[in-house]
Each structure stands twice: as C-alpha cells, then as structure tokens.
A and B are shown apart, each in its own frame.
Chain A
C-alpha cells in the first residue's frame, strides 16, 4: 500500500515534469518598441539633500519616465499576454528583487506575477520608505533603515503600481503585476522576447508609463517565432 502510494506520487511528479519540460517547445514572440514624434528630454536629478547618494554620481542621474535608445527605441515598456493564455494557477517560487541603490530604483520597471514574492532591498546608507501607490491592491508604506532585512510583500491582483519614496521625492519606479508568466520588459534597444508560448491566439499588450497601452493580436502555431512591434507616439511635454 505504502509502495503503491509512493509510486503514484512519483508517476504524478514525472507527468508534471514532462509537461513542464515539454512547454519550452512552444512558439516565441519577439519585437521592438519604438516611438514617433519628439519625446521629452530626460531631466537631471539634483540629489543635494542626500549627500551619501549624490556623491555616487559623477554626472547627474537622469529621469527615467521616457528612456530612449538610438533608432527611436523605447525602454521600460512592459509587453505581456493579456488574453488568450490560461490564468496561471500558481506563482513561481522564485522571488523578484527591487533594489534601492544611490537613491535610485533598480530596475526602474519591475514586472512580476500575481502572488509572486517581491523582495525590496536597501543598498544605501540612508533610510528609504517604499510607498507603492496601489489602487486595486492593498496600499502599504514602509520605511527601511540601512542594514535591515529585505521587505517581503506579495500582490494578489494584476496592476501597474507607481512606486515612490517620500523621503527622496525624485525616486520613482513601477511594479508591473501581471497574471501571466508570459511577460517581458523592453531593454535598452527597445527589444523584448516572449518565449515558450503554446499554440493559440493571443492578445499582446504593451504598456508604457507615460504613453499608455497598445494591443495587438498574435497567433502562434507550433514552434515558430513571430515578430510584433509597437510604436508609441511621443509628446514633448
């Protein structure tokens, strides 16, 4: 009886493992995010009030609301499957980390899944308060003195949450909480990649903090790699 039970368990585990390892064989969506028009110039940040941070920069840190690359590419755009994929039953067990270093959030936009562990760390010699201005999820506001353990939190509903530090008003970042495991944030060259998509018809959404959202449909069959590009309209102010 005992043996039978453990056998069943092993078989179940193997089946799951098979499914999981089989999944990577799906299709991939890659693309590039660009803009047209004239975006606002990044502005230098004056950290005079916090000398321990200011001295870490030889040239001032610039604002990151709109970060562009050569060829009109746009960084920090969250691209994710907003419809078509089944809702994830469980969040990944790995935690994502949001670091505060030099009075600056790294990364500027952090995407993670609903119910996934979020760790906020403070690498500075000064206290920060992490204040994600959630509207759908529960809002919290916690200080983190230097040298204290990371703050652990979770979000149980999808939302784009603006994150600020009241002590250092220039600090600003975003949590992109999504309910799918298929998401990416465009990199310095505006590129993103969503691998491992099983065949199906999907709605792809791209979100930018200043320029809003765009969607497009994409159909995946087999192991193909499809391309989907987004173009945002930039405004000078």
Chain B
C-alpha cells in the first residue's frame, strides 16, 4: 500500500539476504519462479489425486496402499469411501483450475517474462506483486489444510454449488470446516489474482521501454495483458460470491439457501435464498476463467510457434483481435453452464448464441496457426512439439464444444463424461501443453541451462499419445450417457462401460508416470544441464537479448531501445533468419 506510487524498485543493489532474495522477494523473476513452483507442486498433487480417483473407479472395493495414512475416515482399511472420492474430486478440480491453470501460464510465466519482454526492470508495484504471491500461497496452505482436519476436504466439487456448499455439516462430511477452508482459500486466491492483474495492466501500460509501442508487444505479452483484463473483472465477481457464501455458512444469512430445506432430518433455519444466484455469480467468473487458463497458453504457443516456424503468423493482428473478442465474449456466455438449471428456454437461446459466436475467434486463431505452418521451416525441438500438440488438443477439445453450445444436445450430454472430456481437453490438457512448451522454451533463460532435448521428446510423445488415450474415450462414455462425479458405477447400464474405464485408468497411470521424466529433466537440467547461450532458439523478443539468466535488473543497466516488432522471422538478418527487436541493424527486405 505504502509503495503504491513507486514504480521502480531496482535502482539499488540486488538483495543479498536469503529471505529477501528467495522468500519475500520483490523481484518479478523470483516471484514468477515462486508461482511456477507452486503450480508445479499443485499439478503433481492434483495428478496424484486423479490417480487415486481413477484407481477407485475401476477397482472400487480394493484397498489402496498408504491411503489409510492420508485419511483414517476417508479410507477405512485403505478402501476409499464415496465422500473421500468427492473430496479428492473437489481438491483435484480446485488445485488444477486455480493453482495450476491460473498460476503457471499467467502468473508464473507472465511475472517472469512480461516485464522483460517490454524492456522494464520490474513490475509497476513490486510490493503488490510480492503480496499477490504470498496471498496466493496462503490460499494454497488454507486449501491443503482441509486434508488434515477430521472431516476432510469439501465434497461439493470445484464449482461448490449452493445449497450443498452453503448449508454446512448436515449435507455430508467435509461440508463443515472443509468447505469453510475452501471458501476462504478461494477468496484469498481472488485477492492475490486481483493484485496480480492490476500489476500486469499497469506495467504493460506504463513501463514499456522506449520504442515499445503497443503494436510491437510480443504476442505472449499481449496474451498476458488481455488475460489480466479478463482476470481483473472475473475475480472481482468471484470474491463477492465467496464473501456471501462464507456469510451464509457462518453468520446465518440466507443469500443462497431457500426456505424449507430438510437435510439429514434437520429443517434448515434459512429462508428465501436463491441457489441460482450462486450459479450466476460463479459462472460469471467461471467461464472467463476458462480463457484465463487458455489465452496465456495461446500467447505462449503463438510466440513459440513463430520461433519454431521461422516465420511470422499469417496475421498477428487478427490473433490479437480474436483474443480480445474471446475476452469480451467470455462475459456473455456464462449462462450456457446453466442450460439445465430451470432457466426459461428463451434465456437458453440468448446464451446459446454468443456461445456459438465465441467459437468463431477461437476457430480463427486455430486456422491461423495451422495455415501459418504452410511454407514454414519448422524446427522440431521440444517446445515446438508441445506447441503443435497444443494446437491438436485444442482443436479436439474445441470441436466437442460445438455439441455443448446447443441446448438440445447439452440436455443429453451435460451431466456426462462428455463434458469431462471436453474441458479436460480444451482447458486442462491444452493449457498444460502450453505450460510445458513454455517451460522447455524458457527454461534456458530462467536457469541458464538447457533442458535435455531427447528426454523432452520422449516426454512429449508419451504425453501426447497418453492424453488422447485418456480423454478421447471420455467423449464416448458421454455419448453412452455415463454420468460424471460418480465414485462408483452401480447403475446397470454403466456396467458394459467398465472395460473402457479400465483402459482410461491404465492410460492415466502411464501418462502420469511419464511426467516423472519431465520432473527428472527439470531437476537434472537445473543443476547439470548444458549451459544455455543468450538466445538458444534464435528468437527475437527482448528476453533473448539479455544474459541467461537475466541479471537482477534484467538488462544489466542497459536501456533497451526497441526498433521493430517482435515477429521478424524469415528475414535476412545479420545473425541469421531473424532480427532482434532491439537490434540496431537496418530493416532488410523480407525473404521467405
């Protein structure tokens, strides 16, 4: 707060104390790494939770070794109870959506590279930046704490639909303190993201270096900037929703709880609230959240694709425009999550239309990616592979979105695994591919060492094939009407589908195990990898014109002056087929 008007922090020497350097650091690079590290912990935690769930789904009454140690009530004798399955489901969703898909591509890479890409020495408000991470970290701790209370984590899913999430312990285990911790955690997370978004916007607007006009911003910075605009408004709505939810839970108000509910023989002392109000508030945040996860990944992938294709995209401006359109339209489509909630058919139509419209910019971007590959000189290094994999899974996940955008089809598919397959493909896997591409691409800059490319390629192929094996069959299950969020498949009509579930589970175990290769590569390369040159990918943006890793003030006291746009690939440059943004050399004629 007190530092609100101080835009720059780096005019003095870098901090030397461990606490100032690594923990309460004001340096955007350290904060970016902290966000990335938090996302890394969360993603492996979330993955282990998904393993436990997939195991339980196909070997329902089998004991899981060691699970008893994690929770005595949740796994008597090691056999997972239905409520513990839902606890894990909630935690998997919450960790992945908030602490992975929001943290890594946006807050993590964005914090590290946005200031460097615009030639700034730090974020506009370093103190807010530090607060934003530590508030997020506390949110993480609060969420994880729910594993260690007797009742366990909440069982209401990451969407926390009221009144299940609002009425408290009568509705089931985990809905007393577990749900409180969840709501507090998400509230804190919103605060962290609001501070972060505020910083991103102010930094992009005010701290660009000389010559860095808005049209010369690299596409990844554009994506982070658009995302922070989306995030600012989305989290500003989720925060009030959390406040009202907490008040309903602890202060006896009735925002979301209607009158006359009888839960576990107990007539609830509430009146008149509206469960749909929660759904409106939540999805007003929830749908933009999808784009908070995917737009940075789009930016990262576009950025990497250009460096791999050695040519600019067909039209970068159209991609910017499409991303802005997506951000804008994402606020008009929340109702499509509520086609089944008793809205009148007219509202369903009203929400169906922009939902179909929003697929247009996404389709445009996808076609630009694919079209740009025509005539490229593709370099198939690991970041490029993950970027191309991103395009593939994004198409797969996007196409299934057409089904769900139509109310009449959504009515059949809404509660099924089709939706699980859809959002895991388009939001989960696609964004994770963006994160992985970014990691392989920027790791040399962040650590000063190269990652092992062979291990990276093995990791890519196993992951790429693996995710299709896992998530494509989800769509088939959906067509068969397999209901999601079931801990056990007891229904008669689900029995023939169990072999397919077994296949998915085994694919999930193997694909998950393949991620250990990545983890090994990450840790090994951090300490033993080959030293990275300044610009290993022959890329053009400003992060590649400083040392690897960059000095404390990013450019070693040099005042970077930007001469041109970020997409000068496939040209006759002095050092190859590219020209750096800050390179003083004259503009050559484009030569494809």
Given contacts A139-B169, A145-B61, A166-B172, whether A133 and B81 have CB atoms under 8 Å apart is no
Contacts of B173 in A (CB 8 A): 141-143
Contacts of A144 in B (CB 8 A): 76, 81
A220 at the interface (CB under 8 A from B): no
- Would you call A127 and B264 a contact (CB within 8 A)? no
Q: Give the contacts of A126-180 with B (CB-CB under 8 A).
A: 126-127, 129, 131, 133, 139, 141-149, 151, 162, 164, 166-167
- Would you call A131 and B264 a contact (CB within 8 A)? yes
Contact with B along A105-133 (1 / 0, CB 8 A): 00000000000000000000011010101
B488 at the interface (CB under 8 A from A): yes
Contacts of A162 in B (CB 8 A): 265
- Would you call B81 and A143 a contact (CB within 8 A)? yes
Alpha-carbon distance A143/B151, docked complex (angstroms)? 12
Among candidates A143, A147, A151, residue contacting B83 with C-beta atoms closer than 8 Å: A143
Alpha-carbon distance A180/B555, docked complex (angstroms)? 81
* Whole-angstrom distance between the Cβ of B265 and the nearest chain A Cβ: 6
B268 at the interface (CB under 8 A from A): no
- Would you call A133 and B76 a contact (CB within 8 A)? no
* Whole-angstrom distance between the Cβ of A120 and the nearest chain B Cβ: 11
- Would you call B77 and A143 a contact (CB within 8 A)? no
Among candidates B76, B169, B488, residue contacting A148 with C-beta atoms closer than 8 Å: B76
Given contacts A141-B173, A142-B173, whether A166 and B264 have CB atoms under 8 Å apart is yes
- Would you call A149 and B77 a contact (CB within 8 A)? yes
- Would you call B77 and A148 a contact (CB within 8 A)? yes
Task: Name the residue on A nearest B83 (C-beta).
Answer: A143
Contacts of B172 in A (CB 8 A): 141, 166
* Whole-angstrom distance between the Cβ of A160 and the nearest chain B Cβ: 14
Alpha-carbon distance A127/B81, docked complex (angstroms)? 8
- Would you call A142 and B264 a contact (CB within 8 A)? no
Contacts of B266 in A (CB 8 A): 133
- Would you call B76 and A149 a contact (CB within 8 A)? yes
Contact with A along B223-266 (1 / 0, CB 8 A): 00000000000000000000000000000000000000000111
Contacts of A141 in B (CB 8 A): 169, 172-173, 264
* Whole-angstrom distance between the Cβ of B76 and the nearest chain A Cβ: 4
* Whole-angstrom distance between the Cβ of A29 and the nearest chain B Cβ: 33
* Whole-angstrom distance between the Cβ of A128 and the nearest chain B Cβ: 10
* Whole-angstrom distance between the Cβ of B84 and the nearest chain A Cβ: 8
* Whole-angstrom distance between the Cβ of B329 and the nearest chain A Cβ: 41
Alpha-carbon distance A59/B79, docked complex (angstroms)? 33
Contacts of A151 in B (CB 8 A): 76
B481 at the interface (CB under 8 A from A): no
Task: Name the residue on B nearest A172 (C-beta).
Answer: B265
Interface of A is mostly: loop
- Would you call B264 and A148 a contact (CB within 8 A)? no
B195 at the interface (CB under 8 A from A): no
Given contacts A127-B488, A129-B83, A141-B173, whether A164 and B265 have CB atoms under 8 Å apart is yes
Contacts of B76 in A (CB 8 A): 142, 144-145, 148-149, 151
Alpha-carbon distance A145/B80, docked complex (angstroms)? 8
Task: Name the residue on B nearest A144 (C-beta).
Answer: B76
Contacts of A143 in B (CB 8 A): 81-84, 173
- Would you call B61 and A146 a contact (CB within 8 A)? yes
B372 at the interface (CB under 8 A from A): no
Contacts of B359 in A (CB 8 A): none
B447 at the interface (CB under 8 A from A): no
* Whole-angstrom distance between the Cβ of B241 and the nearest chain A Cβ: 27
* Whole-angstrom distance between the Cβ of B170 and the nearest chain A Cβ: 9
Task: Name the residue on A nearest B492 (C-beta).
Answer: A51
Alpha-carbon distance A145/B76, docked complex (angstroms)? 8
Contacts of B81 in A (CB 8 A): 127, 129, 142-145
Among candidates A139, A147, A166, A167, residue contacting B79 with C-beta atoms closer than 8 Å: A147
- Would you call A133 and B83 a contact (CB within 8 A)? no
Contacts of A167 in B (CB 8 A): 82
Contacts of A126 in B (CB 8 A): 490
* Whole-angstrom distance between the Cβ of B325 and the nearest chain A Cβ: 46
- Would you call A133 and B264 a contact (CB within 8 A)? yes
Alpha-carbon distance A167/B82, docked complex (angstroms)? 10
* Whole-angstrom distance between the Cβ of B149 and the nearest chain A Cβ: 13
Alpha-carbon distance A151/B77, docked complex (angstroms)? 10
Alpha-carbon distance A129/B79, docked complex (angstroms)? 14
Contact with B along A170-207 (1 / 0, CB 8 A): 00000000000000000000000000000000000000
B73 at the interface (CB under 8 A from A): yes
Given contacts A127-B488, A131-B264, A164-B264, whether A142 and B82 have CB atoms under 8 Å apart is no
Contact with B along A58-83 (1 / 0, CB 8 A): 00000000000000000000000000
Alpha-carbon distance A174/B76, docked complex (angstroms)? 23
Contact with A along B66-80 (1 / 0, CB 8 A): 000000010011011
Task: Name the residue on B nearest A142 (C-beta).
Answer: B73
Task: Name the residue on A nearest B169 (C-beta).
Answer: A139
Task: Name the residue on B nearest A125 (C-beta).
Answer: B61
- Would you call B265 and A148 a contact (CB within 8 A)? no
Contacts of B82 in A (CB 8 A): 127, 129, 143, 145, 167
Contacts of B61 in A (CB 8 A): 145-147
Task: Name the residue on A nearest B174 (C-beta).
Answer: A141
Contacts of B60 in A (CB 8 A): 145
Contacts of B84 in A (CB 8 A): 143
Alpha-carbon distance A60/B83, docked complex (angstroms)? 29
Alpha-carbon distance A148/B60, docked complex (angstroms)? 12
Contacts of A127 in B (CB 8 A): 81-82, 488
Alpha-carbon distance A146/B77, docked complex (angstroms)? 11
Q: Give the contacts of B520-548 with A (CB-CB under 8 A).
A: none
The 4 closest A-B pairs by CB, nearest first: A143-B81, A148-B77, A148-B76, A145-B79
Could you list some 12 contacts between A and B, CB below 8 A? A127-B488, A141-B169, A142-B76, A142-B81, A143-B81, A145-B61, A145-B76, A145-B82, A147-B61, A147-B77, A149-B77, A166-B172
B-to-A contact residues, CB < 8 Å = 60-61, 73, 76-77, 79-84, 169, 172-173, 264-266, 488, 490
A-to-B contact residues, CB < 8 Å = 126-127, 129, 131, 133, 139, 141-149, 151, 162, 164, 166-167
9 additional A-B pairs beyond A141-B172, A144-B81, A164-B264, beta carbons within 8 Å, are A127-B81, A129-B82, A141-B169, A142-B81, A142-B173, A145-B61, A147-B77, A147-B79, A166-B264
